[in-house]
A and B are shown apart, each in its own frame.
Chain A
């Protein structure tokens, strides 16, 4: 590469995605500028950046959401572009506008497209207008009462969602009219709390649906390609925990249809940069537009491992005005990739978030294993941020090889000091329904019994207890300091 696309790029994010973007910037000879709240000072993204600048906020989250301060910081640092990562300001149209108004490049789509796709109702109308499939639905336009009356005319069960929502927050399934009347106000309350917008809408709920999404790239002028699909049906509380590419059970014809539908929507929106079109796939192979995510996804690495592309690099090329480097025919996918999201939570108690300290961290290694992490040993895991700590991604020639590699990598991963879902993910990897590819978004609930931890045999329990006890100073002192005769006599005294 003769000349870098940008001299310097600021990443308006933290954690693993900030580290991930910094890696590509470094490889491409672009200066990487990180921002951090003081609570994050010891975080890896600060250490990994060429320049790290502190931002203020009443809470750490408030700092990363402060678009005015972040743009001012970017201007002062003299960067040419801002990458928003995912979460925080990534899908905030006002932020994108502010970035552009400051004379900087926003590494993502145009503000008006973010705004269009960020409002589920408008996005849905747009997709319908262009002739793509969506689920029958009712949008709240007046009060809750008239909404419930109209919604009752749809076929139950229904899914209630926040109009401005995302990330599974405030979504409720209702199976009867009575349940609808009871739950609609709750959904509106949650929508108001999470998204500062109390409007809700409802659509027909597909039983045992699968979540299939397509990675797309657009040039902003109606040119678009897809990088194939990802299956993200393993979810808890409507949030993905395992993603894979390709989907294990799509027929080639259906894959082709879904991917081309995604490209059609991308073209219609004259979409710029990387995005994801999410679909609900019903058991009868009909599929419906769910939403478009106007950013890099958490699960983008599975697409990278199967296509061999660096999505952040493609984003930079597009943002620098070089358009699409690839034609559709240039893109091919090989083998199978799986990603597991490693989170601080307790899967055996309703996935309640956990806090603690990363006291010991050993990343798995080996062929086809990638560990995208934003944590380091000694770091406190506080309730300030999302519980996702890292992502483990593997690649294999086929799905079985990938599952075997993931199982081994999860066993090798040592992340102690805070409760995580690592053991739970390993149990999914050994689950027969998962092996069979019998996936749907209710998998975690339906397989709950099969996914419970097995009983521990007495020898293993004893070994674990001794290993633990030897970590306790009082016990260790007993073992090392008790004079020998007494150590033996102890047995008789007791």
Chain B
């Protein structure tokens, strides 16, 4: 089964082609032979042809970070089970980009709002962020009141379906 990793708005599909003698993968149609070893200090040593690269990696939940040379990569593992769930996700839901607290609510259920209009102001890490309407819409539900805290990815506002 293919492994999917998301970086920003790009999704990479990594297919295992062969594991011996050299790990061979197909990434979005291009085949790579990569020799991988773990160094004593925990670093990964990756050899592609003549090129040797060293990488540090951390995994926390489905989030994978890789520091390769001077560059840091962040990937989210798209778990096949979650993927199935996400396919049915509701585009009428506005979710929290970070955990935080609601500072103020600027709209009410049943209200018609314009694209770009601020619906809720949230505060995370001492920074205020406006959650704005992505399109002209009617508000269905505001899920948190002023002063209430929420986790990352919590649904803050539900818009009525178009």
Binding site for B on A (CB under 8 A): 344, 352-357, 359-360, 362, 382-383, 385-387, 410-411, 414, 416-417, 419-420, 422-423, 426, 453, 456, 458-472, 474-475, 478-480, 482, 484, 487-488, 490-491, 494
B16, closest chain A residue (CB): A478
Q: Is the CB of B124 within 8 A of A466?
A: no
Q: Is the CB of B77 within 8 A of A487?
A: no
B66 / chain A contacts, CB cutoff of 8 Å: 416, 464, 467-468
- Given the known inter-chain contacts A417-B63, A464-B68, A474-B3, please indicate yes or no for A490 contacting B16, CB distance below 8 A: yes
User: What interface size band does chain B fall in?
Assistant: 35 or more
Q: Is the CB of A466 within 8 A of B32?
A: yes
Q: Is the CB of A488 within 8 A of B18?
A: yes
Q: Is the CB of B98 within 8 A of A355?
A: yes
What are 26 residue pairs bridging A and B, where the CB atoms are less than 8 Å apart in the complex? A352-B97, A356-B60, A359-B65, A383-B98, A383-B100, A387-B125, A416-B56, A453-B71, A459-B32, A460-B53, A462-B25, A462-B48, A463-B53, A465-B14, A469-B3, A469-B25, A471-B57, A472-B5, A472-B59, A472-B64, A475-B16, A478-B3, A478-B16, A479-B19, A491-B18, A494-B17
How far is it, in angstroms, between the C-alpha of A478 and the C-alpha of B25 when the chains are bound? 12
Q: Is the CB of B48 within 8 A of A411?
A: no
B144 part of interface (Cβ distance < 8 Å)? no
B65 / chain A contacts, CB cutoff of 8 Å: 359-360, 416-417
B34-59 interface (Cβ within 8 A of A): 34, 36, 44, 46, 48, 51, 53, 55-59
B30 part of interface (Cβ distance < 8 Å)? yes
A480 / chain B contacts, CB cutoff of 8 Å: 19
A460, closest chain B residue (CB): B68
| CB of A461, distance to nearest CB on chain B (Å) | 8
A487 / chain B contacts, CB cutoff of 8 Å: 16, 18-20
Interface centre among B53, B60, B77 (most CB of A within 10 A): B60
Q: Is the CB of B57 within 8 A of A468?
A: yes
B73 / chain A contacts, CB cutoff of 8 Å: 464, 468
Interface centre among B17, B74, B79 (most CB of A within 10 A): B74
Q: Is the CB of B23 within 8 A of A466?
A: yes
| CB of B50, distance to nearest CB on chain A (Å) | 10
Q: Is the CB of B77 within 8 A of A416?
A: no
| CB of A61, distance to nearest CB on chain B (Å) | 9
Q: Is the CB of A423 within 8 A of B70?
A: yes
- Given the known inter-chain contacts A463-B48, A471-B57, please indicate yes or no for A426 contacting B14, CB distance below 8 A: no
Q: Is the CB of A469 within 8 A of B14?
A: yes
| CB of B153, distance to nearest CB on chain A (Å) | 11
A383 / chain B contacts, CB cutoff of 8 Å: 98-100, 124-125
From the candidates A411, A459, A467, A474, name the one contacting B55 in the complex (CB within 8 A): A467
